[in-house]
């Protein structure tokens, strides 16, 4: 169940022991849990430097590691990371995090936890750089590059990767710590607040507990999109403590108060386990410092019980359409692994799914029960695939620049040559459409084998699919803004081209990254992308995003098949996954299917 509680200002006043609710704005004080208490064992803090980053090359930074007195080295300790760590670690400052952790661990109100207090990176100027002059003509050294906003405000996976791949292994190399996200939390203020959220969002299997004080959820570097992604995206197992004040910043990038309220509203909408602590403070750590003990208690409550994944609202409630697609409790399952790459899943009406393994030249069949068998080999670099109305499997072969089709016994026939193919789709009347990203064009092959260039000019035409009624062709532009829709004329030629499907662009990029495509019987379009499977409605809008099987691992193609055409299949490098869903798939060779009218 969702634990969503907005803490009114008057409740905060009572909690913190103030005598009157009419106090002056921003008059927050540290409570007893933020003070040294006689008899409470004190942990040890050690300072370090880190300058070996490949994620943020050239950076240098200080960090401190706090080891509580209760750590015995035998039982794995939890980990709490604090961004802008110098400000949090100072036991005479506004947060006094090590003091708070000493007290809460002693009272068993949070688990034994290692604290890692890390500062943002700085890149010193080159030693050979010439001196400049200030406005008075005095010689001065060139400036370092300050990496804080780049590392913290950018809603990408870079900061998460830095923590997982570089800092944590170094900071905890001699310590026995929990390795999974349930035992690891993140905390920060301002830009550090959004950094804490984004790192958990990008890698929830690594970080499940977040504290954000006065978080910068504004358009400094795209942070305003965090709340809309929460609304569209399948939920992730993250518990959040969120705080801001009504007198926070309101500048060129937006309003911090509005941004944090949008985050709170999105977390509530999507069913997250969160706590919202509004106040009347400004852009400082006064309120957050007073709340740090409560925030730590909240995110670590019930540990070691795992943080629950948000549950979908009723599918009939159109506010949350993720529930139209996904089934609670049904997660991604590995169908096959150990492959030399995987591509081109193609569904058959009997519930089987074919997929290609281009580097080995093999094509495999997944039976409805999940058993995998070899269908064909020596297939000349097979990539995209689709069944045709003749019952044969059409395959794009990028090593020999051919389109071929395989009979039921695996024998191969050439359909067309001198095409540099990537993916393809086949209509019920035998027209074949092929993407050719090397030449930035889309091919049309008639049922009699005549080939023509049907369209040119996309940056990187990749995934290709039909609408269920087969009246339109959809092509993804992997290095463009989204997907193009074409109407199909009676002779198979294309007309009325439009950039109809606007993709959710990954942060800090200019390209959609959209790869393989599929559709369901109700007209929804499913597109593999760097941020997950983006699901578009018939009007061309992204309304839901399904989690990738593994965060950080790219997907290439998608299909709906399996028993009762009710499983979503994705190819993901060396593995193929599937997941049971509510909608049913479409078999193009069986004929057009007309979905209901689109919701406008």
Contact 458, 472 (CB under 8 A): no
Residues 333 and 441 in one domain: yes
Residues 282 and 388 in one domain: no
> CA–CA separation, 30 vs 467, rounded Å?
60
CA–centroid distance for 6 within its chain = 26
Per-residue pLDDT of the chain (600 residues; tens, 9 = 90+): 344 444 433 333 333 332 333 345 788 999 999 999 999 999 999 999 999 999 999 999 999 999 999 999 999 999 999 999 999 998 888 999 999 999 999 999 999 999 999 999 999 998 887 888 888 888 888 889 999 999 999 999 999 999 999 999 999 999 999 999 999 999 999 999 999 999 999 999 999 999 999 999 999 999 999 999 999 999 999 999 999 999 999 999 999 999 999 999 999 999 999 999 999 999 999 999 999 999 999 999 999 999 999 976 554 554 567 888 999 899 999 999 999 999 999 999 999 999 999 899 999 999 999 999 999 988 888 999 999 999 999 999 999 999 999 998 878 899 999 999 999 999 999 999 999 999 999 999 999 999 999 999 999 999 999 999 999 999 999 999 999 999 999 999 999 999 999 999 988 788 999 999 999 999 999 999 999 999 999 999 999 999 999 998 999 999 999 999 999 999 999 999 999 999 999 999 999 999 988 776
Residues 389 and 515 in one domain: yes
pTM score of the predicted model: 0.89
Cis preceding-peptide flag for 213 (omega within 30 of 0): no
Contact 367, 352 (CB under 8 A): yes
Contact 99, 91 (CB under 8 A): yes
Task: Report if residue 234 sits inside a domain.
Answer: yes
* Sign of the CA dihedral with 182 first, then 101, 168, and 143 last: positive
> What are residue 263's DSSP bridge partners?
none
Task: Report if residue 109 sits inside a domain.
Answer: yes
Task: Report if residue 598 sits inside a domain.
Answer: no
Task: Report if residue 578 sits inside a domain.
Answer: yes
Residues 370 and 423 in one domain: yes
Residues 333 and 283 in one domain: no
Find the domain containing 447 and state its range.
322-590
Number of domains within the chain: 2
Beta-carbon contacts of residue 472 (< 8 Å; ≥ 6 apart): 466, 485, 486, 487, 488
Residues 330 and 466 in one domain: yes
For helices 286-299 and 97-106, give the axis angle rounded to 10 degrees. Answer: 30
Task: Report if residue 600 sits inside a domain.
Answer: no
- Maximum CA pair distance of the chain? 89
Sheet of 432-436, strand order: 423-426, 432-436, 441-445, 451-456
Residues 262 and 344 in one domain: no
Residues 246 and 281 in one domain: yes
> CA–CA separation, 393 vs 372, rounded Å?
17
Task: Report if residue 307 sits inside a domain.
Answer: no
Domain at 42, CATH number: 3.40.50.1820
Residues 271 and 356 in one domain: no
Element (H, E) at 65: strand 61-67
CA distances 111 to 125, 266, 363, Å, are 42, 29, 50
> CA–CA separation, 113 vs 115, rounded Å?
6
User: DSSP character for 533?
Assistant: E
Task: Report if residue 367 sits inside a domain.
Answer: yes
């Amino acid at each position: 169940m969702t634990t969503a509680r907005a803490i009114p200002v008057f409740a905060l006043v009572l909690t913190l022991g103030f005598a009157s609710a009419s106090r002056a704005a921003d008059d927050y004080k540290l409570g007893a849990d933020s003070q040294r208490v006689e008899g409470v064992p004190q942990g040890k803090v050690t300072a370090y430097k880190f300058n070996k980053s490949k994620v943020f090359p050239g950076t240098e930074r200080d960090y401190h590691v706090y080891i509580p007195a209760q750590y015995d080295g035998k039982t794995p300790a939890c980990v709490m990371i604090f961004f802008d760590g110098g400000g949090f670690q100072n036991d005479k400052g506004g947060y006094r995090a090590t003091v708070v952790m000493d007290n809460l661990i002693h009272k068993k109100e949070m688990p034994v936890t290692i604290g890692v207090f890390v500062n943002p990176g700085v890149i010193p100027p080159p030693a050979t750089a010439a001196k400049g002059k200030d406005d008075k003509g005095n010689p001065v050294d060139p400036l370092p590059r300050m990496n804080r906003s780049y590392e913290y405000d950018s809603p990408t996976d870079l900061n998460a990767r830095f923590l997982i791949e570089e800092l944590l292994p170094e900071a905890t190399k001699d310590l026995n710590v929990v390795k999974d996200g349930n035992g690891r939390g993140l905390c920060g203020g301002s830009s550090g607040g959004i950094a804490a959220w984004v790192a958990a969002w990008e890698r929830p299997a690594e970080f499940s507990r977040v504290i954000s004080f006065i978080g910068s959820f504004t358009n400094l570097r795209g942070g305003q999109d965090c709340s809309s992604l929460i609304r569209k995206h399948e939920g992730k197992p993250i518990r959040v403590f969120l705080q801001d004040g009504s007198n926070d910043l309101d500048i060129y990038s937006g309003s911090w108060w509005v941004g944090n309220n949008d985050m709170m509203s999105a977390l509530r909408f999507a069913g997250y386990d969160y706590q919202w602590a509004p106040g009347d403070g400004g852009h400082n750590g006064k309120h957050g410092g007073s709340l740090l003990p409560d925030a730590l208690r909240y995110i670590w409550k019930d540990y070691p019980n795992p943080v629950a994944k948000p549950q979908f609202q009723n599918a009939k409630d159109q506010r949350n359409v993720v529930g139209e697609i996904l089934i609670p409790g049904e997660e991604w399952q590995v169908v096959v692994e150990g492959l030399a790459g995987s591509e081109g899943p193609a569904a058959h009406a009997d519930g089987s799914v074919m997929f290609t393994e281009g580097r080995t030249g093999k094509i495999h069949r997944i039976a409805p029960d999940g058993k995998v068998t070899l269908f064909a080999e020596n297939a000349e670099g097979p990539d995209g695939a689709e069944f045709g109305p003749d019952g044969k499997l059409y395959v794009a072969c990028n090593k020999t620049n051919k389109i071929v089709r395989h009979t039921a016994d695996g024998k191969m026939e050439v359909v067309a040559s001198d095409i540099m193919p990537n993916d393809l789709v086949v209509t019920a009347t035998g027209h074949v459409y092929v993407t050719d990203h090397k030449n930035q064009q889309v091919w049309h092959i008639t049922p009699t084998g005549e080939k023509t260039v049907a369209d040119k000019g996309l940056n990187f035409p990749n995934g290709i699919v039909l609408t269920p009624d087969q009246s339109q062709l959809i092509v993804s532009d992997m290095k463009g803004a989204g997907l193009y829709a074409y109407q199909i004329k009676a002779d198979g030629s294309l007309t009325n081209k439009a950039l109809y499907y606007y993709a959710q662009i990954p942060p800090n990029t200019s390209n959609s990254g959209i790869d393989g495509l599929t559709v369901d019987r109700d007209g929804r379009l499913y597109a593999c992308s760097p941020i997950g499977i983006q699901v578009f409605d018939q009007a061309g809008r992204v309304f839901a995003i399904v989690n990738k099987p593994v965060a950080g691992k790219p997907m290439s193609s998608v299909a709906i098949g399996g028993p009762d055409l009710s499983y979503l299949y994705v190819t993901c490098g060396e593995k193929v996954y599937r997941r049971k869903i509510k909608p049913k798939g479409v078999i193009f060779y069986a004929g057009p299917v007309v979905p209901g009218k689109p919701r406008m």
